Amino acid sequence: MIEPGPVCYRTLAYPNSHHLSTYQAIGGYEVIKDIITNQTPADTIIEAIKASGLVGRGGAAFPSGLKMSFMPKSADTIKYLVCNSDEGEPGTSKDRFILSENPHQLIEGLLIAAYAIGASVVYNYLRGEFDVPYQRMEKALEEAREQGYVGQNIFNSGLTIDIYNVSGAGSYIVGEETAMLESLEGKRAYPRAKPPFPAMSGLYGCPTTINNTETLASLPVIIQQGPSWYKNYHSENSGGTKIFCVSGHVMRPKIMELPLGIPFTELLDKVGGIRDGNRLKAVIPGGSSMKILPAEVMLNIHMDYASLKAAGSAIGTGAVIVLDETCCMVEILTCLMNFYKHESCGQCTPCREGTPWIYRTLIELLNGKSSVAAVESLCRIAGNIEGKTICAFGEAVAWPVTSFLQHFSDEFIYFAEHGHSMVKGRKKS
Amino acid sequence: MTDNPTIQIEINGQSVQCQPGESVIAAADRHGISIPRFCYHPKLSVVASCRMCLVDVEQSNKPLPACKTIVSDGMVVRTKSELAIEAQRAIMEFLLINHPLDCPICDQGGECELQDVSMGYGFGETDYQQAKRTVADENLGPLIATDMTRCIHCSRCVRFGDEVAGMPELGMTGRGENTRISTYLKHSMESELSGNVIDLCPVGALTSKPHRYHGRSWEYTQHHSISPHDCVGSHLYYHIVDKKSSEKNRVTRVVPRANETINQNWISNRDRFSYQGLEHHQRLKQPMMKKSGKWEEVTWQNALYAVQAKLEHVSPDNLYGIINPTATLEEMYLFRQWLDHYQCVNFDHRLKECDFSDQAEMPLYPGSLDLSLEAVETMESILMIGGNTRAEAPLFNHRIRQATQQHQSRVHELNMLDFESNYPQGHRCIVSPQQFAHTLSGWLMLASDEVAPNLPDSSSKSGQAIIDDLTASNQSLIVLGLSAQSHPQSSQIRRIAKRLAKKTGSKLILITDGPNTAGAWITGMLPHRKPFGQTPETVGQHITHAWQQRSANYILYQVEPDLDCFDGHLARSALEHANCVIAFHSYRSPSLEQHADIILPLSSHVENAGTFINICGQWQSFSQAMPHRYNSRPGWVVLQKLCHLLSNNHPIVSDITTLSQTINNQFNTMSPSFTRIPTKEPESVKPLNHKLMNHNYWSPFKSDALVRRASALQQTLNQSKLLIHPDTAKQYAIRNKQVVTIKSQYKTIQLPCEFNLSIPIGCSAIHQGCDSVLPLPAIGHITLSSVEGDQT
């Protein structure tokens, strides 16, 4: 289920939320029109974004305005903006509904960002499996082109900003920003070694900024309402809104755009609490790559960047995976590792060799053919991957392993010693 | 490299001077600080994927790959800190969990980078208990063996294909642990440089098929030598197993010796695998004489006396000294000295040419003296006339490719066949041999702002564009390939090329046959020049004239007449009617056995010493890599003996370097300057009026006696076919895939034909070539008929 929200999901309150007319009725495209007709200096926009406290909503939480300000100011080379709509993080399905339900706001956001960084070409890279979102985006783009919002001479200003939708081919790693650039260039989605960073040498070697869909779709509202409105949306300096995708063992899994800083318990209430009256066991608060936090931590936490960081995890993509007391942590981790084993691109050694090793060690554990020593080695293997890979996939593999073992090592050791799950008991043969 | 070091960094407490933009690993390498690596190679792009070179860089909380980390002033790097060692051990363990730990049965064992690095940086223990990955092998053809289970995915071979060979034959498929190095579709590796992946592969995944399981690196002595195959003269190492008896010594493989000015880190497949020919069963072991039609083995002394007796009363007019440009400078020099005793004037080495009318206008030797191989890379535009540098001189071609890759050079082409190039092509014009010289002559008129008569629109348009490009470029080069020089109008072609180079401000370079054509010119292996460019009293007869004689006397030095010559059949029939044939060679061959009177066994290239002068005029000496085998002798020893027999005054030197030095001194003092030789104004060349001409293009693996006997290289050749344009075939009522009879002036052969749209109208082409087609002229007129047609 999906609920209307104040920023990215604001059209969802209306019927036909994805139509141009719907978006125009709530003041759509007015922001970019103002910017272009008044020739607002790009710096003003970037400063506004900086002031809003907006950070990358794709998971890495890098300050968006700062990222834009890294782009070279000179006009002698073509610059690109890439919108990362390859939403692949397990548990996450927030961008999909921006693309399908509010595509025009994303287009306006793309135009604002492109204008601010001086990009004349924008690629919106969509996850390969997104069929309806792709079609909605294509339709929206067509409408925007007809209106003269996109393409050459937008708003009769002489300015050119072209936007293209690109559909991926179904890999998780293409969501890594430099892998996305490789894929856009027609190559295998192998993450690039950095530096150079994309702002210096990105798509086709040109300066490029890559932002998440939610980040870019927030821009029209931030500019319209002003940075301080956004920044202090919930409480002072809370940092705006965030789409939370609450899944797992809750009564009514839901996607909601909520103020940052709301207590986790409130979030849990909005989805009707834990299923079957069970007790909360743990939460992965930001998509499967983030560190898991046990119930006692989560129940006292506010859902914002600082609090989760202080608790040892992160808000990530905002995918809140809720686990109740019935689940076996060994099974859950195996399930996650199966995903990472399958999605490792294979380019660099630690991840290519380490992820299958972790996965198979867990499988042996699940089959009751393991030892405490093997459980202990999991952390060592994960630690050997972490920080040694080309991209952050290494961390995405390592963090779940280390955090599961940090908080639930008793379950793993029990499994190793007894050959069956501590939670689920002996398997019926 | 360290002309202007401006950056100072610290590695392991040692202060290191670096250039801006340099990587940490390159700086460390230059200062002898070892950092383990697998994917990094100085000649390939940096991918930083193996992660073996992770080092501890101050102010970074994570270890950084030394190959991808660019130095910055004041950077502090530690390769042996706790962080670095932990990272190295981690990566080493990951690399080894799926790698078979069966080094004793691996062909790479003992010279494996993984083995070496694991000894130095590995942990020695692992928790890994699971099954190891196995991977199906690829069949990459007769040269490269695969053991893909051993692959560590460093991707050096993939990048080599993309970046150096210009043929992306290998790639990565699959993801994660399923990543495979593969050819995508099954095919063998066809690149002329493909053998280099054997050296690049850090493990035993890609090894040499002919060398596989033939020896271990620690059993070999390594001997530096120069390639005996092409005019570049690549530096290489012979790896030799030294046994107590020299009979059992053998070369087990050839690897490149890095030389930045010549071959960089690479050698061609011909250079790498031709060593197999050294062991060929046709190797001559003993001097042989024909007595009443039967061959008998004789002693060297008897053989040399017999040679002397044969030549004693021979008239100088009727004596022909024919030498292959595979001979060394010293052999050529002594060959000339020896035959000078008999007043011989008919010398020649231009085995694959047929038009010599411009010989007097040639410089001291055809190598362009003002051009280095490295300078080829800086050319802005290049015109290739008649030839395929990929086959003729692969590492010269590599320089052209580098020019296109690094300096975006434009490479234009006028050719008789549509050769596949490994770089982006500029303007191309493919014409028949009949039209070839005519087209070039038309282009020269265009360069003089005249109207070129009778040129088709397309060729005059591309001609104009090429001339404009050459003229506009600051650095431009005209390359005359081997087929241009085998052309019946090659004198005119050379004259036009010289004039065209002058008009457009380009440099001119001639690709030459064999490793030592330049040496042959210098030592007077020519009818019109004495050694060092001196003018003879009498001008002798050139090689085509020599082959037209009846009852002549021939001294053949490393020549297999039917396989080495422009018109093999003509040469062979000359020998058939000869008065006397004395052959110096390393191998028996049917033609020599049939027609020679005395055969003297020469030592092979590895057992010989001497000097080759390459295409850029570089004198490159090599020493004997192993003692001579059987009862063969190095040519320079035999020729000195022969000279000594004739005149006791002739000094015998036992040390070849003294001889080389003598030649070099004489070259420096005697050689006249040929810088101002007047070239005849080229005439306007008319097209040849043969109805049908055939271009018999030598495969690089048929170019000399050694490579013709190298079995693995021979296996790479396809069946010979006559390629013909369907429109031409129609005139002879020939169907596709049909067997046809090909008649040249002297020879008739049968071959299957295949239609090919890239062959110009009015000509046919034979690629690759099995031995039976070699006796056809390189470029000559033929007639065709279908075999069935003859029968009905």
Q: Where are the alpha helices (DSSP H) in B275-415?
A: 300-311, 329-340, 373-376, 389-392, 394-407
Q: What are the DSSP E strand ranges found in B416-522?
A: 425-430, 476-480, 507-510
Check A355 against B46: CB less than 8 A apart: no
Over residues B133-166, the pLDDT tens digits come to 999 998 999 999 999 999 999 999 999 999 999 9
Q: What is the model's pLDDT at position B360?
A: 87
By the 10 Å C-beta count (0-12 exposed, 13-18 middle, 19+ buried), A111 is classed as buried
pLDDT-derived band at B6, boundaries 50, 70, 90: confident
| Residue A165: band (very low, low, confident or very high) from pLDDT cuts 50, 70, 90 | very high
Given strand A254-259, what is the order of strands in its sheet?
Answer: A254-259, A241-248, A319-324, A280-284, A293-294
pLDDT tens digits along B611-660: 999 999 899 999 999 888 889 999 999 999 999 998 888 888 889 999 99
Return the pLDDT at A231: 93
Looking at chain B, which residue has its C-alpha nearest residue A351?
Answer: B176
pLDDT score at B718: 81
What is the per-residue pLDDT for A251? 96
Kindly give the pairing relationship between strand A121-126 and strand A162-167.
parallel
**Contact predicate B693/B762, CB 8 Å:** yes
Question: Cα(B335)–Cα(B650) distance, rounded to whole angstroms?
Answer: 13
Is the peptide bond prior to A196 cis by the omega test (within 30 degrees of 0)?
Answer: yes
A348 contact residues in B (CB cutoff 8 A): 48-51
Least confident of A41-55, A110-124, B730-744: B730-744
| Whether CATH 1.20.1440.230 fits A329-418 | yes
SS3 B555: strand
CA dist B276 and B108 (Å) reads 20
Q: What's the confidence (pLDDT) of residue B2?
A: 46
The first and second tokens of residue B542, run together, are: 């050139």
A and B: number of Cβ contacts within 8 A:
94
How much is the average pLDDT of A166-187? Answer: 94
Q: What angle do CA A77, A82, A88 make, to 5 degrees?
A: 155
Find chain B residues with C-beta within 8 A of A374's C-beta.
Answer: 127, 129
Residue A76, pLDDT score:
84
Query: Do the chains contact at B65 and A195, CB–CB below 8 Å?
Result: no
Nearest chain B residue (CA) to A370: B129
End-to-end CA distance of chain A: 38
Nearest to B175 among A345, A360, A381 (CB): A345
Is A10-230 CATH 3.40.50.11540? yes
Q: Is the pLDDT of residue A323 over 90?
A: yes
Chain B residues near residue A397 by CB distance under 8 angstroms = none
Report the residue from A352, A373, A374 with minimal CB separation from B177.
Answer: A352
- B319: tokens are 């004596």
Classify B117 as helix, strand or coil.
helix
The answer to whether B128 contacts chain A (CB < 8 Å) is yes
Note which residues in 320-349 of chain A have CB less than 8 A from chain B: 341-349
Looking at residue B239, its pLDDT comes to 94
| Residue from B40, B70, B130, B177 whose CB has the most chain A CBs within 10 Å, to mutate | B177
Quickly list H helices, B347-393: 373-376, 389-392
CA A255 to chain centre: 14
Shortest Cα–Cα distance, B399 to chain A (Å): 26
Task: Report residue A1 as tokens.
Answer: 């289920």
Greater pLDDT, A66 or A238 = A66
Distance CA B253, CA B539 (A): 45
Mean pLDDT across chain B: 90
What pairs with residue B613 in β-bridges? B619
Sign of CA dihedral A411, A417, A420, A423: negative
Is residue B402 helix, strand or coil?
helix
Facing B176 at nearest CB: one of A193, A355, A388: A355
What letter would DSSP give residue A117?
H
Residues with Cβ < 8 Å from B245, sequence gap 6 or more?
none
- The nearest CA of chain B is from the CA of A117 a distance in Å of 27
Helix (H) or strand (E) holding A397: helix A393-418
Cα gap B91→A385, rounded to integer Å: 8
Q: Are A134 and A121 in contact, with CB atoms under 8 Å apart?
A: no
Q: Is B773's pLDDT higher than 60?
A: no
Structure tokens at A40: 């607002």
Yes or no: say if B328 and B611 are a contact pair by the CB < 8 Å rule: yes
Q: In what order do the strands lie in the sheet with B14-18?
A: B14-18, B7-11, B76-78, B54-57, B64-65
pTM value > 0.95: no
CATH classification number, A233-324, choose in 3.10.20.600, 3.30.70.100, 3.40.50.300, 3.90.700.10: 3.10.20.600
Tell me, yes or no, if A355 comes closer than 8 A to chain B by beta carbon: yes
What are the residue ranges of CATH 3.40.50.11540 in chain A?
A: 10-230
pLDDT per residue over B264-317, tens digit each?
999 999 999 999 999 899 999 999 999 988 999 999 999 999 999 999 889 999
Residue A79 phi, psi (nearest 5)? -120, 150
What pLDDT digit, counting tens, does each position of B269-278 carry? 999 999 999 9
Nearest neighbour of B48 by CB, restricted to A193, A354, A360? A193
CB atoms within 10 A of CB B593: 14
- Interface mutation target, options B40, B51, B68, B158, chain A, most CBs of A under 10 Å: B51
Nearest residue of A to residue B128 by CA position?
A: A357
Higher pLDDT, B452 or A425: A425
Instruction: Select the residue of B62, B70, B93 nearest A387 (Cβ to Cβ).
Output: B62
Q: Please give the residue of chain A at the shortest CA–CA distance from B48.
A: A193
Ranked by mean pLDDT, the top range of B147-151, B436-440, B558-562 is: B147-151
* pLDDT computed for residue B363 by the predictor: 86
Q: A36-50, A310-324, B551-565, B688-702: which range is least confident on average? A: B688-702
Interface residue A373 vs chain B (CB under 8 A): yes
**What sign does the dihedral B645-B648-B651-B654 (CA atoms) show?**
positive
Where along chain A do the CATH 3.10.20.600 domains lie?
233-324
pLDDT digits (tens, 9 = 90+) for B7-24: 899 999 999 999 999 999
Q: What are phi and psi of B76, to 5 degrees?
A: -115, 120
Beta-carbon separation of A346 and B91 below 8 A:
no
pLDDT of residue B452: 67
List the single residue in A with minimal CA-CA distance to B96: A353
Asked if the peptide bond before residue A133 counts as cis, ω within 30 degrees of 0, the response is: no
Q: Where in chain A is the domain with CATH 1.20.1440.230?
A: 329-418
SS3 category, B605: helix
Q: What is the percent of chain A where pLDDT is above 90?
A: 93
DSSP lists the bridge partners of residue B251 as B240
How does pLDDT run across A327-380, given as a tens digit for each residue?
999 999 999 999 999 999 999 999 999 999 999 999 999 999 999 999 999 999
Whether the predicted pLDDT of B386 surpasses 70 = yes
Chain A neighbours among B 21-60 (CB < 8 Å)?
Answer: 46-52, 54
Residues 6+ apart with CB under 8 A from B335: B321, B323, B327, B523, B525, B555, B557, B635, B639
Touching check for B575 and chain A: CB below 8 Å? no
Are the beta carbons of A182 and A189 closer than 8 angstroms? yes
Based on its alpha-carbon atoms, the radius of gyration of chain A, rounded to whole angstroms, reads 22
Question: What residues of chain A lie within 8 A of the CB of B175, using their CB?
Answer: 171, 342-346
**Is A324 within 8 Å of A281 (Cβ atoms)?**
yes
pLDDT of residue B790: 47
**pLDDT tops 50 at residue B792:** no
Residue B427 is encoded by which pair of tokens?
Answer: 């303007």
Of the candidates A142, A160, A149, the one whose C-alpha atom is nearest the C-alpha of residue A109 is A149
- Å from A211 to nearest chain B CA? 25
In this complex, the residue of B47, B95, B175 whose CB is nearest that of residue A353 is B95
Q: Which residues of A touch B176 (CB under 8 A)?
A: 341-346, 351-352, 355-356
- Tell me which chain B residues have a C-beta less than 8 angstroms from the C-beta of A355: 176-177
Asked whether residue B479 carries a pLDDT value surpassing 80, the answer given is yes
pLDDT in tens, A31-70: 999 999 999 999 999 999 999 999 999 998 999 999 999 9
Contacts of B128 in chain A (CB under 8 A): 357
- Cα separation, A108 vs B23, in Å, equals 42
- State the Rg of chain B over Cα: 28
Q: What would the pLDDT profile of B649-660 be if each residue is shown by its tens digit?
A: 888 888 999 999
pLDDT at residue B88 tops 90? yes
Among candidates B747, B735, B736, B730, which has minimal Cα distance to B694?
Answer: B747
Tell me which DSSP letter residue A23 carries: H
Q: Which residue of A has its CA nearest to B176?
A: A346
Question: In terms of Cα–Cα distance, which of B189, B188, B192, B207 is closest to B149?
Answer: B207
Rounded CA-CA distance B774/B751 in Å is 12
Interface test with B, best of A200, A201, A337, A352 (most B CBs within 10 A): A352
Please write the tens of the pLDDT for every residue from B177-234: 999 999 988 888 889 999 999 999 999 999 999 999 988 999 899 999 999 999 999 9
Opening angle at CA A59, ends A264 and A233, nearest 5: 55
The phi, psi pair for B2, rounded to 5°, reads -105, 45
Q: What is the mean pLDDT of residues B589-602?
A: 92
- Residues of chain A found within 8 Å of residue B90, distances taken between Cβ atoms: 350, 384-385, 388
- Nearest-by-CA chain B residue for A192: B47
Asked whether B615 and B393 are in contact (CB, 8 A), the reply is yes
Share above pLDDT 90 across residues of chain B, in percent, rounded to a whole number: 66
* pLDDT given at position A425: 76
- The verdict on a CB contact (< 8 Å) between A390 and B48 is yes
**Is A389 in the B-facing interface, judged by CB distances under 8 Å?**
yes
Query: Is there a contact between A384 and B94 if contact means CB atoms under 8 Å apart?
Result: yes
CA distance to partner chain A, nearest, from residue B74 (Å): 18
- B649 touches A: beta carbon within 8 Å: no
Partners of A385 on chain B (C-beta within 8 Å) are 90
**pLDDT of amino acid B674:** 61
Does B90 have pLDDT greater than 90?
yes
